[in-house]
Amino acid sequence: MALFMDTRLLLRKLKDLRCLTPKRHRVKEKWAATRPKHPPTNLALQHFDATYSAQLGQMWPSVRCALLSERKYGALFNNFSQDALLEDLEAQGCRDFISNIETEVQPSDPADGDAVYQQLSALQLSPNIRCFVFPRGDISRFKPARPDQGGFLGYYLMDAASVLPCLALNVQEGHSVLDLCAAPGGKTLALLQTYSIGFLCVNDSSVSRTSRLRKVLRSYVPKQHLTNEKIRISTLDGTKWGEIERNTFDRVLVDVPCTTDRHSVLEDDNNIFSKIRTGERRRLPQLQLQLLQAAIEAACPGGEIVYSTCTLSQNQNAGVVEQAIAWAQENHGIQLEVVDLRPLTHMFRNTFHFARDLHLGEMVVPHLAANFGPIFLCKLRRLT
Ligand SMILES: C[S@@+](CC[C@H](N)C(=O)[O-])C[C@H]1O[C@@H](n2cnc3c(N)ncnc32)[C@H](O)[C@@H]1O
């Protein structure tokens, strides 16, 4: 009997060996017929090779390599969970990169040390946001988070650099905050960790993504923090926000749709470089501009806006911000100042690889030893 089974197994194996099947009898596998001739991931890479080699010069080959390699995650710690996870995470060898800044800030040049420390004390970071990462060069993965006794998950896995726009937003006690493009909700969750927000408006034009966001909030945040007095969730077109609520919010986060560079080179599904989405992709800078304009109008005078993307593209980053600043001045007499985020990048320079000498904003660039990003962020303050 055993001999019979072995023979059958052997025969099946032999059948699998294509080299033994005469060519005329070979059948093309199904995927070969349905796979697009030009997979979107290839188109994305071709596009990036053309634009980023010009934009990033010598840096592009190493950034490209990191972009194509496995990304690193951060575990956004959920302060609403009852689980004693801190020790567990630390025992795994990871650390909270935000509270560990004391050890990171060691100005190599004592001459510029004072200036850096002055800037650091001026930069009040949103309190209570904690995000754990494995050390530089360590590519260990986090286990999926488990629910605590109350059913709340202990951490949310996301690109650790995505926390930077939330930190830069600098939410203070009682602030009213608008998260204009919020789904699936990683940054909303980070903002809620501050416990400081007076009222939070969460919006995303996509109904399906907003339901994911609701699910995320239910899995991490107790009901008493999600009452109508504290939070409002909407599915409006964010570009129209200026027509709904002007001069209202102390803080506005506008984390716009973009070419999501990392996703675009790795996943064919839902890829903005697929042929049928060419028009949508070309219209992105215009949509991003309209969303940033709406965010500027929604902020109150003195209020602050953080614009963020997950692309390296200059057109979708500094290009959009420049146009929005000019538009606000010319059409609404709104004066904006660009807030210097160098203290923030200095603070986290041991965790992330930042682009050097951008003329506007800051950018986390993927790097094999610290494979986070890309994340671009630029902070504006309304002076009028
Ligand atoms: C980069 S994602 C936001 C990610 C989110 N901030 C987070 O941290 O999980 C961009 C979002 O913008 C939304 N979006 C696209 N067009 C929009 C519009 N006109 N108004 C509002 N949201 C829009 C998309 O549905 C998408 O969820």
113 is in an annotated binding site: no
The residue that leads in pLDDT, 378 or 1, is 378
Query: Which atom of ligand 1 has the smallest separation from the CA of 180?
Result: 21
Strands 375-382 vs 362-364: parallel, antiparallel or unpaired: antiparallel
Query: In which band, very low, low, confident or very high, does the pLDDT at 83 lie, cut at 50, 70 and 90?
Result: confident
How long is the chain?
384
Q: Is 205 in the pocket of ligand 1 (CB under 6 A)?
A: yes
Distance of CA 193 from the midpoint of ligand 1 (Å): 20
Residue 349: pLDDT band by 50, 70, 90 thresholds?
very high
Average pLDDT over residues 127-152: 93
Mean pLDDT for the stretch of residues 352-361: 95
**Is 159 near ligand 1, meaning CB less than 6 Å away?**
no
pLDDT of 57 reads 94
**C-beta 202 within 6 A of ligand 1:** no
What region does 361 belong to: left with phi over 0, alpha with psi -120 to 50, or beta? left
pLDDT of residue 30: 54
- Residue 203 pairs with which residues in a beta bridge? 234
- For the chain, the domains span 59-382
ipTM beyond 0.85? yes
Q: How confident is the model at residue 111 (pLDDT cuts 50, 70, 90)?
A: very low
Which of these ranges, 2-11, 81-90, 238-247, 285-294, has the smallest mean pLDDT? 2-11
Mean pLDDT of 99-108: 58
59-382, CATH topology level = Rossmann fold (3.40.50)
Number of the ligand 1 atom closest to the C-alpha atom of 310: 1
Ligand 1 centroid–CA 206 distance in Å is 7
- Averaged pLDDT for residues 177-193: 98
Q: What positions carry a catalytic annotation?
A: 310
CA angle (15 as vertex; 11, 18 as ends), nearest 5:
150
Strands (E), 204-320: 231-234, 249-255, 299-309
Ligand 1 centroid to 170 CA: how many Å? 21
Residue 174, annotated as binding a ligand: no
Q: Alpha-carbon distance 147 to 336, whole Å?
A: 44
366 lines ligand 1 (CB under 6 A): no
Minimal CA–CA distance to 56: which of 255, 317, 281, 286?
317
DSSP 65: H
Flag whether 181 is marked binding: yes
Q: Is residue 297 within 6 Å of ligand 1 at its C-beta?
A: no
Average predicted confidence (pLDDT) for the chain: 89
192-248 pLDDT per residue, tens: 999 999 999 999 999 999 999 999 999 999 999 999 999 999 999 999 999 989 999
255 in contact with ligand 1, CB cutoff 6 A: yes
User: What is the pLDDT, as a whole number, of residue 37?
Assistant: 81
Strands 95-96 and 249-255: unpaired
- Cα dist from 360 to 27, 66, 284, 341, whole Å: 55, 24, 19, 10
Residue 308 has pLDDT above 50, yes or no: yes
Pairwise CA distance, residues 68 & 61, whole Å: 11
The CA radius of gyration of the chain, in Å to the nearest whole number, is: 24
Confidence of residue 4 (pLDDT cuts 50, 70, 90): very low
Could you identify the atom of ligand 1 that is nearest to the CA of residue 239? Answer: 19
pLDDT per position as a tens digit, 323-347 = 999 999 999 999 999 999 999 999 9
Run of H or E including 96: strand 95-96
**Separation of alpha carbons 107 and 120, rounded Å:** 12
Ligand 1: centre distance to CA 291 (Å): 10
Residue 166 Cβ < 6 Å to ligand 1: no
Q: Is 161 annotated as a binding residue?
A: no
The pTM (predicted TM-score) of the whole model is: 0.89
Tell whether 303 is in a known binding site. no
Mean pLDDT of 134-156: 94
